[in-house]
Amino acid sequence: MNLDLFKEIFDNFVELVYIVDPENYQILYVNKVLKEKFGECWGEKCYRVFQNLSSPCSFCSNKYLYRNPEKPYIWLHRNLKNNRWYKCIDQFIKYNGKFLRLEIAIDVTKEIIKNKLLKEKMREYAHLFENVPVPLYRTTWEGRFIKVNKAMVELFGYSRKDFKEINACDLYYHPQDREKFIKKIEKFGYVEGYPVKLKTKDGRLLTCLLYTTPIKNADNQIVGFEGMIKDITLERSFRKLLKDKIKEEKGPRNSLISQLSLTHDFHNLLQIILNNLLLMKNYCQKGELLKIETTIERLKEIILKNQNLTTALTKIAIEKLRKKDLVNIKKIIVRAFELFEKKEEIIFSLNIDEEIKVIGWESQLLTLFLNLIKNAWEARKEDKAKIEIRGEIVEKEGKDYLKISFKDYGKGIKKEEQNKIFQHYSSKKHLGIGLVIVSEIIKNHQGMIEWESEENNFTIFHIYLPIAERKDKKRILLIGENSQLLTIIKNILHLNNYEFLHQKELEKGIKSYQEAKELNKPFLGIFYDTLYPQLPKDSENLKKFIDLEPKTKIIYSAFIKEEDFKNFENFNNNIIFLRKPYTTEDFLKAVNGLVKTDK
């Protein structure tokens, strides 16, 4: 056979081709592709050029070809020089009366890696099937169990060995119901939320919903079933209790309906889990690795959300039975940052006074801020999330609250998502169950939450929590329209154990003062602030309080001069002048003047 003919044929091959003398391992021919990868190597030893070895390869195919020279030898090998996998097709050819070894090496590295990954994904799918917290099963048409997961074993009390010996009909409280179930699948192609009564090994009755799809053979005939079982026995009892409660009590109707809505969300969640498992099985059969990876990650996230939400809401519900405590908010927020697992990836500033306390449950409030921190971290635009937190005492809807403004400079919230941020199981990673939990905790504390967001810029959550009332409270009536100043004044009073009521208008202030006196809950004194002193009108206004109670003490906060004092000479002893600008110490000295007078 002419080697030039081989050259003409094989130089145009895209695969590696070479010819070697099997007696001395000398290379007699390499094609263009192989020459590009291993260089000019004619006349050299094949084991040295191709495998970087100093002696013939222990895995050389010569011994197999000598046994059967007429047949090719096909084998798989990982090249020692470039670490790539090749499918090698070796064949003896005769030239001048002697055998030469021809090898065609096909690079199958991608296929090998793909198969290896597919096996890993199949193992991961099997692990998910086994450990997902939902009963899953696979049966034949006749009802023989092919596979069940751990949750299935736990629900019915049968061991895996038992499941191999029993029939699906044995789980039905009324065995004839399985025939109805099969007919429904034959008619509609699947069942979703199909109600049925089942029973455990010890005879306990279960009210369940079936989510099942058929298994078909190559001829499109149904040969089995696979699906999920949802036990709603407790849910049914719970729903009945809730409905009875709604009839008895009109007040908490919205809260109870909200709990029913949450149950519906779990129903939907289970259907999503089943759908994704069936999708992944299909992808595994087709070897679609990228889709398998995506589905596995989506399932992990859904299952984790389910576990986290049920755990969190259960803890919240149980903790409501405990008595509330005085909670130092600043310490709680600092603790939340310390506990957050990615704290090194966060830059934050915190401006809340050390002494501000609210009434609530410490662990719930810690959970609240951990969830806000996690949301901010997930929405970050750079390597580190930037968070700013400010706290101030404000009046809202006639009550005093600690307003906590939690701002992150992240991706913001898209307009189309802004109406869904407190809904269960949002599909967006940074709008997950965290905000559902945050909302529930704030409701538990009789608080409120507001928010604003600008896409690709920032998000701010304004949280309002009722401040703690003081047992030894002394109340001061605040009158004035300077909101910036009065916010500072309120914080100072709260930190120094004073209660207060703020009225912007004078007439409303007079009415509040009079009502407090009639209820025998008088104010310690009055803080009267004016942006622009109007004398003698201001003195006439203050005289109205003194006419109601001659011993009334009033802190007059204004830009005034000493000569202006004469406007108050008829009741000078009732007025404590606080000339702007003044310091916190000046203000507290004036307040102490009210206390001394009260004593």
Q: Provide DSSP, 184-235.
A: HHHHHS-EEEEEEEEE-TT--EEEEEEEEEEEE-TTS-EEEEEEEEEE-HHH
How far, in Å, CA of 549 to CA of 570, rounded?
Answer: 15
Mean pLDDT of the chain: 81
pLDDT attached to residue 454: 87
Backbone φ and ψ for 397, nearest 5 degrees, come out as 55, 40
Percent of the chain having pLDDT more than 90?
A: 26
In this predicted structure, what is the pLDDT of residue 249? Answer: 45
Asked whether the predicted pLDDT for residue 257 surpasses 80, the reply is: no
Q: Bigger pLDDT: 58 or 291?
A: 58
d(CA 478, CA 502): 5
Q: Given a cut of 90, is residue 74 above it in pLDDT?
A: yes
Provide the sign of the torsion angle of the four alpha carbons 483, 484, 487, 492, taken in this order.
Answer: negative
Both ends of the chain: CA-CA distance in Å?
124
Spatial separation of the C-alpha atoms in residues 68 and 128, rounded to whole Å: 48
Contact between 506 and 541 (Cβ < 8 Å)? yes
CA torsion through residues 254, 256, 261, 265, sign: positive
What is the C-alpha to C-alpha distance for residues 57 and 158, in angstroms, rounded to an integer?
Answer: 56
The answer to whether 140 and 167 are in contact (CB under 8 A) is: no
Return the pLDDT at 260: 41
- Residue that has been written with the tokens 């009108």 in this structure: 537
Average pLDDT over residues 318-342: 77
| Residues in Cβ contact with 370 at an 8 Å cutoff, skipping those fewer than 6 apart | 336, 339, 340
Dihedrals φ, ψ of 405, to 5°? -100, 115
**Cβ(435)–Cβ(374) below 8 Å:** no
- Cα gap 489→292, rounded to integer Å: 60
Please state, in angstroms and rounded to a whole number, the distance separating the CA atoms of residues 102 and 83. Answer: 22
Distance CA 582, CA 328 (A): 29
Distance CA 338, CA 348 (A): 12
Give the pLDDT of residue 428: 43
Query: Any idea what the Cα angle at residue 485 is, between residues 482 and 489, rounded to 5°?
Result: 125
Cα(563)–Cα(586) distance, integer angstroms: 20
Digit-coded pLDDT (tens) for 192-223: 889 999 999 988 888 999 999 999 888 889 99
Identify the pLDDT of residue 559: 83
**Predicted structure pTM score:** 0.40
pLDDT band at 521 (very low <50, low <70, confident <90, very high): confident
Q: Which amino acid is at 363?
A: S
Residue 90 scores a pLDDT above 50? yes
- Give the CA-trace dihedral at 568, 574, 580, 584, to 10 degrees: 170
pLDDT of residue 106: 93
Q: Which tens digit of pLDDT belongs to each residue from 36-47?
A: 888 888 899 999
Q: Looking at 22-36, 273-287, 410-424, 494-508, which range is the least confident one?
A: 273-287
Task: For residue 289, report the phi and psi dihedrals to the nearest 5 degrees.
Answer: -60, -45
Helix (H, G, I), strand (E, B) or coil at 531: coil
pLDDT at 109 over 80: yes
Per-residue exposure over 164-181, b if at least 16 CB sit within 10 Å of its own CB, e if not? eeebbebbbeeeebbeeb
Interatomic CA distance for residues 102 and 93, integer angstroms: 7
Domains of the chain: 3-107 (3.30.450.20), 116-319 (3.30.450.20), 325-466 (3.30.565.10), 475-598 (3.40.50.2300)
298 or 91, which is more confident = 91
Answer with the residue of higher pLDDT: 127 or 27: 27
As a whole number, mean pLDDT of residues 175-191 equals 91
